[in-house]
Structure 1
Amino acid sequence: MKKLLLSGILAFGLVCIHVSSTFAAIDQLPYLSDILQMQPDVSEQELLSNVEAIAKETGKSKEEIVAQIYKELKNDAEQATIEHKYNLNGGSGGTVPVGSSSKGNFFYTDSQTAYLNHGHVGLYYASNTIVESVPGAGVRKISTTSRLVDKGGACVKSVSTSLTNRSAAANWAYGEIGESYSYNFATNRLTGYNGAKNCSKLIWSAYKLHGNLDLDKNGGLGVYPRDVRDASSTKLVRNI
């Protein structure tokens, strides 16, 4: 009996040591704290869970995945800084209505969240109706007269695909109204289409599902609003 008890204690101790070592190793991943500082509304648990899943799916190490996430976040932040040299009206507050456009088109504008200016995109469901995902409200619809953007830094773009695909993508996005917002830009390319999502994931998912288009300029782990704006299969309709 004593031998069995001792064996159980030793086994439990070894398991605890293994689990503790695993978490310690994960917590010591390079750039992890930097990523969490850049995305403070994303929990460490969520980030690590996504890193583990991506590592298993791609065969890359967790270190490689975290380094790639950090690089993409840093590049996006640097791009925002470069663009603001020419556009000084950045931030979340807009000054002019986005205006009307065709169903399936989308708009881009600067947008400052609590941490980074990732920009913001919204999809035209109708000529006077936008579907977008925003903090607090999640996926919602809003009129084009109520949706204010930054003059000089905003634009409307079309997607190079059939009218059928454009309509179906907009209809799908409209069907997501009511879903909550996700602050996770860093790995949103590999999360599910349904459920919580940010603005770029909403539009990327809509056209991925309806048209099999990849509206992601660089094909990284995260789809950011500027990735959607600058995707090769998009065309400028007008600057605002």
Structure 2
Amino acid sequence: MTQMFEQMFEKFNGLFCKRLTDYWESCLNAGTGSPNDSEARLIVSDVTEKRSIFNVKYLMNLATTSDQKLQRVGRGSATNNSSNMMDMNVVVTLENKVSKSSTWSNSFTFSQKVTTTFKCGVPFIGDAEIGVEIGTEQTFGHEWGETTEETVQFQTGYLVKDIGPGQMASVTVTCSTAKIRIPFTYKCKDTALGGYDRGTVDYIDGVYEGVAAYDTRAKVSNGGTVNEVKLRADEEGRAFIL
């Protein structure tokens, strides 16, 4: 980098080279006294056009979790104003937006702007006693090193039974969150500008970092008794329901 810096410096007049469009377009011209001039900045970019990452193998023995928290996601209530015992629907209102996040990265210095296609399972915590598990393999197509987020969805309507006269029914939804960090190995195949394939290379420098949301529960009260129910994921895995 020092050699590159010296090459951008013109020793004849003591000025730095910059971009100049006069007669010719975007030529080098020794015409600025500061390397901080916006037209004198040299941007080093990766000549890789696209990258494919596959055969991701998580090193589960090195997986770590931290910053475990119990989050109150939402709450709702309804009062039986009649003189008879009755069942009532309670609507839970969101109080705290909880999101899951995932980031896959490595030690590439100049590769953050290369759009990467990669296949892997997403780590998650299915049960606090079991710990970290790996989901079904999926295909992703965003920038390598980019963080993706998904808001935790949950059932908002609950039928609470046997609410006595003048009693208030309530439902409180909670979940736990934790940070996950797992190193992984993978295979990488780069395609250079012009469509030239560089071949497959094995790497050991991958790191997954994310926030998992798990153990989502609904605490249901009819004004007399309290039941805590663990919510399950729906068929699409996008919301937690009874």
On whether the aligned pair clears a TM of 0.5, the verdict is no
TM-score for both structures, normalised by structure 1: 0.20
Larger Rg: 2
Higher helix proportion (structure 1 or 2): 1
Higher strand proportion (structure 1 or 2): 2
Structure with the bigger RCO (C-alpha within 8 Å, sep 6+) is: 2
